[in-house]
Structures are given as structure tokens and as C-alpha cells.
């Protein structure tokens, strides 16, 4: 928290930052400020879905294989293995649109639809609505659909979840 008396580079904690007296009180450069994650856009096969509450599972991991070399007892080598991408899980407020359900039905009823996979993109948007970062997900197809939970004692919204398997993603 900043003091009411700003004398250049000193905060109330006594720590100093590289700022010139009379300039902005921001601690970070504009380029390096953390980005909020609540404003995003999801596109599946070129169609924008704007009513998603949550997208998770954007993970990229590489297996690590330990290798012990004979005669070397101080350490073990760490070798790279296969890359692994986890499935995306998308939570959507139920609407009258059946696009996600139809996409899932195409994938399970027509196995060639699974071969004709869609591309998905997630765009993280700034406060002005401009795209800041975009993840392109390739070879995506819906592998699981979960309907809403019904409970008469709560007045909660109905949500559907869809899990999407994919080949890989890029960040751009």
C-alpha cells in the first residue's frame, strides 16, 4: 500500500523501487503487470462461445527419466521423455444452445468426426477487450460431457461440463 506522501521511490514499508519522482506509482512496467484471468474468449471450430465460466486443464508436461551412470554416485542424470498434454475441462452455463452436445454426439456417433478434429483457441483478453494472449489447441475432440446437477434446495445455475482431448497447443 502506498503512503499518501509519495516522495519518489519509497513505500510505507521502506522498500525502494526504481521510479522517478512525479512518475506513476506502479510497481511493475506496463508490459510486465499480471493479467486478470476472468476475461477470456473460447472459439471452437471458428465459433465463439462467450458464456463459459471456467476453462481448466491447460497443462504441458514432459516425463523425466532418472538415469544412474555406473561409477557416478554423486548424482543421477535426468533424461527427457514423452511430452504430455492434459485434457481441457470447460464449464458452461446451460443455455438453449445444443452446440456442445451436438459436437459430442458427432464425435461418438460418427468415428470419422473424431478423425476430423477441430481446432480450439482460448484468448485471454485485457480490460479493454483486446486479446492479450492466445492458446491454439490442435486436434481437439470432445471425449466427455457432464450434465447439470439438480438440487431442489439450492437456487444455483445449471452448468454443463465438457472435456476435450487434444494433440498439442501453442502459445501466441
> pLDDT per residue over 19-47, tens digit each?
455 555 555 455 566 666 677 888 887 77
Structural domains in the chain plus CATH codes:
40-171 (2.30.110)
Cell 473424431: give the residue. Answer: 114
Residue 118 has pLDDT above 90, yes or no: no
**Structure pTM?**
0.68
- Over the stretch 65-115, which tens digit does the pLDDT of each residue have? 999 998 888 999 999 999 999 999 988 888 888 888 888 888 888 766 445
Amino acid at each position: 500500500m502506498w503512503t499518501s506522501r509519495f516522495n519518489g521511490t519509497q513505500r510505507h514499508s521502506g522498500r525502494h523501487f526504481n521510479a522517478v519522482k512525479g512518475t506513476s506509482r506502479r510497481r511493475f512496467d506496463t508490459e510486465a503487470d499480471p493479467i486478470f484471468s476472468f476475461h477470456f474468449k473460447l472459439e471452437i471450430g471458428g465459433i465463439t462461445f462467450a458464456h463459459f465460466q471456467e476453462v481448466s486443464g491447460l497443462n504441458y508436461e514432459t516425463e523425466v527419466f532418472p538415469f544412474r551412470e555406473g561409477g557416478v554416485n554423486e548424482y543421477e542424470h535426468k533424461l527427457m521423455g514423452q511430452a504430455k498434454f492434459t485434457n481441457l475441462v470447460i464449464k458452461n452455463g446451460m443455455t438453449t444452445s445444443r452446440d456442445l452436445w451436438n459436437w459430442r454426439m458427432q464425435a461418438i456417433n460418427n468415428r470419422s468426426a473424431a478423425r476430423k478434429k477441430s481446432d480450439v483457441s482460448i484468448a485471454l483478453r485485457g480490460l479493454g477487450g483486446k486479446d492479450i494472449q492466445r492458446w491454439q489447441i490442435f486436434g481437439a475432440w470432445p471425449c466427455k460431457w457432464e450434465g447439470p446437477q439438480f438440487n431442489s434446495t439450492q437456487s444455483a445455475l445449471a452448468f454443463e461440463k465438457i472435456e476435450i482431448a487434444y494433440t498439442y497447443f501453442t502459445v501466441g
